[in-house]
Structure 1
């Protein structure tokens, strides 16, 4: 739907915590999108597990790669992502927060969907 040449794009549907080896084998990656489920009890603890993913970025990214870090929990602010990235993947720097589409409008921008770009 977005016009990508599917012959040059790969989509991997893996449980990241059980498939580090498989995921790393296909890398390194030019862009990594981190978009965990917000409301999946028992399978993803946002503040703990998000940092586990960030710690592994160095093993997965190509030189000059980018990360699009997303979180849709109203309980964390954009600073959670910025500070966690600085702690766990200090080779990356915050570039910008992307604007949300109208469907994700919220009375409190700090509680709404957060999509941040890092390079």
Structure 2
């Protein structure tokens, strides 16, 4: 710790579900939690980080490969970011040249943070919008949209009363197809440690049929899992 001049504190969080405990392992000065600060997530991009009192910190670092894939595939595209949380996917899409990104989440508090993230990155010039919707009950909203070239699906694997696992994922896929352009792409994300990447790919193939093109996006090399086949799964689907 003494050799790391830029480090002011080390926090360790035990995340046994459903409880979690944050401990201050070392600190140069007294700390009051939560710590809230802008964290760099790419050259020229940052987002609000909140550490210490909540399970969710404002950013999921294991999604790095997905962020950079979106940045590389967003130029001049209309993008729909579902379960958008604090809008990090949107930041990368706009940084990659997207002409429009619509962010949808059912939690107003995280949408406010997403708006702040866009403003602080100077990415709020009419190219992004934020909608509070219960996504699984918004089929008419999907059908009313101008088609999107890229739709990002990043739901929780399970959330009581909000998202009930694979049956709701299938509903999400069906809703999204109503809003997808004819030659569009869906980025399907799944963070369920009970399901392997091969099982996820098989389930998507069963749903879309053999004609669909499925591209598995490899996780960032610095993100390691106890079982690398069952960590975060990212598959780009071109129906």
TM > 0.5 = yes
2:50: which partner in 1? none
Alignment partners' CA distance in 2, 1:67 and 1:6: 15
Residues 59-105 of structure 1: CA distance to partner in whole angstroms, max 9, x if unpaired? 2210111111111110011233322222322353212x222235642
Name the structure where strand makes up a greater proportion of residues. 2
Alignment partners' CA distance in 1, 2:156 and 2:235: 16
Alignment partners' CA distance in 2, 1:16 and 1:49: 10
Unaligned runs of 5+ in 2: 1-44, 46-91, 106-132
Alignment partners' CA distance in 1, 2:101 and 2:237: 21
Asked if 2 retains the 8 angstrom alpha-carbon contact of 1:98 and 1:115, the reply is: yes
**Would the alpha carbon gap of residues 19 and 67 (structure 1) be closer, same or farther in structure 2, given more than 3 Å must change?**
same
| Among candidates 167, 184, 203, match of residue 48 of structure 1 | 167
**TM-score of the two chains, using structure 2 as the length reference:** 0.44
Between structure 1 and structure 2, the one with the greater Rg is: 2
Alignment partners' CA distance in 2, 1:60 and 1:78: 26
Higher relative contact order (CA 8 A, sep 6+): 1
Matched, 1:33 2:125: no
Alignment partners' CA distance in 1, 2:222 and 2:143: 34
1:113: which partner in 2? 232
In angstroms, what is the RMSD of aligned CA positions? 2.3
